[in-house]
Amino acid sequence: MTTFFLIRHAHCDGVGQVLWGRRRDVHLSADGRSAARTLAQRVAPNRLDAIYSSPLERAVETAEAIAKHCDRVPVRVIESLNELDFGDWTGVSIESLDRDPLWQRFNSVRTRTPIPGGESILDAQTRIVDELKRLTVTHDNGQVAIVSHAEMIKIALAYFAKLDIDRPDLFNVPPCSVSVLELTETRAGAMAVHI
């Protein structure tokens, strides 16, 4: 069995106000850096075998805070943990998106609503699920921190819990939260744990 700690990056300015998506140079806020340090102190006693991160700065900064409390465990950046590609919606305010009928439809039926200029939710789910399955083999009987983004964590949990990804409200994944996912070759168990 491999135990994954699926960690959403800590707070950055604009969370809940702007859809940052894959926008570069979005860093942790002062509150986010503080929360990441606290999270690191709580996660470190789990004796992590590996720490993997999305390539976006806010995720890498969170992962590096965890690594500082885990002797000799480097942060490894993996593209497949990157945020969902929100295409034309990247960097747009949530307030203005709320008036967009396509955004409203996306939040009702994600599997059948394309993101303009972006990635399909099903492709993103396949991307992260395949990576977690690969890491299960690489870290058999290990404990692994995965620092990624809310959407990616939600769709991974939905897959392994056999839940509908058209219901993003099924999971609450706030900044700096931890969801524990245990995978074996034959079964998966998931639970949300906020550390």
- Residue 42: CATH number of its domain: 3.40.50.1240
Write 48-51 long-range contacts (CB < 8 A, 24+): 48/5, 48/73, 48/143, 48/144, 48/145, 49/73, 49/139, 49/142, 49/143, 49/144, 50/76, 50/135, 50/138, 50/139, 50/142, 50/144, 50/145, 51/75, 51/76, 51/144, 51/145, 51/147
| Count of structural domains within the chain | 1
Share in percent of the chain as helix, strand, coil (round to 5)? 40, 20, 40
Please state the pTM of the whole predicted model.
Answer: 0.92
> Integer distance in angstroms from the first to the last C-alpha of the chain?
21
How wide is the angle at C-alpha 191 spanned by C-alphas 73 and 70, nearest 5°? Answer: 15
**Domain ranges, residue 116:** 2-193
pLDDT value of position 184: 79
Backbone torsions φ then ψ of 153, nearest 5 degrees: -65, -45
pLDDT value of position 44: 83
pLDDT value of position 191: 46
Cα radius of gyration (the chain): 16
* CB-CB contact of 2 with 183 (8 Å): yes
Backbone torsions φ then ψ of 79, nearest 5 degrees: -60, -35
* CB-CB contact of 189 with 181 (8 Å): yes
Per-residue pLDDT tens listing for the chain (195 residues) = 899 999 999 999 999 999 999 999 999 999 999 999 999 998 988 889 999 999 999 999 999 999 998 887 999 999 999 999 999 999 999 999 999 999 999 999 999 999 999 999 999 999 999 999 999 999 999 999 999 999 999 999 999 988 898 887 778 899 999 999 998 766 555 444 443
Task: Give the single-character DSSP code of 138.
Answer: H
pLDDT value of position 9: 97
Extract the tokens encoding 79.
Answer: 């593209």
H helices of 107-149, in order, are 121-138
Token look-up 């399909």 returns: 120
